[in-house]
A = this chain, B = another copy of it.
């Protein structure tokens, strides 16, 4: 289907917006009136720019507070029709009336809309009537269809907007009652499920399909079943997208539509972590945690350190320690890269020597490199390393990896991990940091667990970390406390006073500085190393079917990390 987007969905001037929208591969745009009014170019020039960029102008919007008013005002509409002719737009969105002066009179509304459609027809223009969720009398899409059907004019149809329909809990199956050719336009927006005033929700918190909590695939299936053949158009009011780079937002928007349409290349979700790659010379830390150097890359200054199925690729550079890449186990790496590419993820060029294994990588929104690997495959990436024998088996595998995401790009990151990698978003959590609230969301699937944390603007400890699963965390903790004092993050005694008031726990937790959590499925033990550069390690052990990440203890970690930062 053709793809379109409202100019209000991205930042900048109207010209910036059109260029970014075209660059992302959209076919058309909805021109939001406000963007035209503040634009120094005449409508004819906007029309020419859009045409030069290969964009059609699919809709001009919004025209407000028209139908069922005490006095019919066609003068204002005439002006807009003339403007639309100059702009080359032939479809006008009319929102249901919100004025306290409007009458709750369907016959009058239909009569006014019929007259408007007749006048529009003289200009070759059609009218798409939309029920706003907060319309004064008309706020349900079936009500707007009832009025449009009564008005019975070929130049009058409905505009369906997923936000206005799903935000008020209306069942979209009723869309199938509307003939496809009377659905003149389709606007799509997702939103997180918030309990708040619907107008504020709409104006600030809409997001692209797949970033929120609405069932957009289900919604679209009803629109398709009705026989709609027009464009899929995104209309998103979002405080973050207003502030982010228009080209990046437009690409993210296009990715959401490709995923929604279901036309991306298919690929299975990753089944776990192949490796974590870190800079900054973390050998001593890896060694203390029981990792053994098991290989050296044939051509690059990279060492492989292993323990159980946990693998670290350590660069020997003097840069600040940081997590730069993640290897994911993929049953078919080629398909995974094709899917990523079809969803507009940047595929990274990779220089390799002739004999080295082919490794496909893409860039995540925060710049982290994601590699798709099949470790067990003969001739796989491990062949690049000269093998050695692993020693300790305290750590069994990488349990999860946590990455900090800039606040304005959190929605983009969620969509990336959800659609490109096939992970499912879990509940969004908030916890207190001494200097702000931290938002956190786990993305899981197969054997892969990622945690995305919002990075605050204010100075705060880095939240990049690799969590290592342990077979016997207490044994490892005992060894680390004995052999490497200062390696583990100290935990305040007050934490244990509170913990012991709530639960009967092993007193050794206090001695070892091990944290404890439980959920309805099981229990969780964990501890943290001190931070090196921008990275730290977490050691975890899950008991029973514990599903979480010890988020209840995150405020303790953050407070201790803050107190250890140099002022």
Contact = CB atoms under 8 A, between A and B. Distances in A.
B12 A435 contact: yes
Given A34-B555, A79-B501, A436 B39 contact: no
A170 interface: no
19 contacts: A11-B435, A11-B436, A16-B434, A34-B555, A37-B492, A38-B495, A38-B556, A38-B558, A40-B490, A40-B492, A40-B494, A79-B497, A79-B500, A79-B501, A194-B197, A239-B437, A242-B433, A243-B457, A457-B457
Contacts of A357: none
Interface stretch (A412-420, A461-469, A559-567): A559-567
A195 B434 CA distance: 28
B33 A498 contact: yes
Contacts of A36: 494
In which size bucket is the chain A interface?
Answer: 35 or more
A434 B497 contact: no
Interface string A76-116: 10011001000000000000000000000000000000000
Interface in A14-58: 16, 33-34, 36-40, 42-43
A496 to B, nearest CB: 9
A42 B243 contact: no
Contact of A243 (B37, B456, B560): B456
A44 to B, nearest CB: 11
B458 A243 contact: yes
Contact of A12 (B434, B492, B498): B434
Contact of A37 (B196, B435, B556, B563): B556
Nearest to A458: B243
B432 A40 contact: no
Contacts of A501: 75-76, 79-80, 83
A13 B494 contact: no
Contacts of A288: none
Interface in A139-198: 194-197
A39 to B, nearest CB: 6
A200 interface: yes
A502 interface: yes
A348 interface: no
A239 B407 CA distance: 14
B560 A435 contact: no
Contact of A437 (B12, B80, B242): B242
A500 B559 CA distance: 59
Contacts of A11: 434-436
B494 A243 contact: no
A39 B498 contact: no
Contacts of A562: 13
Interface string A279-302: 000000000000000000000000
Contacts of A43: 494
Of listed A43, A239, A242, A433, residue having the most chain B CB within 10 A: A242
A34 B457 CA distance: 23
Contacts of A560: 38, 40
Contacts of A76: 501-502
A559 B242 contact: no
A556 B560 CA distance: 48
A457 B434 CA distance: 22
A559 to B, nearest CB: 4
Contacts of A37: 492, 494-495, 497-498, 555-556
A130 B456 CA distance: 33
A353 interface: no
Given A33-B498, A37-B492, 19 more contacts: A11-B434, A11-B436, A13-B434, A13-B559, A13-B562, A38-B434, A38-B494, A38-B495, A38-B558, A40-B492, A76-B501, A79-B501, A195-B200, A196-B197, A242-B432, A242-B433, A242-B435, A242-B437, A243-B436
Contact of A42 (B16, B434, B456, B494): B494
A493 interface: yes
Nearest to A77: B501
A559 B33 contact: no
A497 B40 CA distance: 12
A562 B39 CA distance: 11
A13 B434 CA distance: 6
Of listed A76, A194, A456, A501, residue having the most chain B CB within 10 A: A501
Interface string A478-496: 0000000000001011110
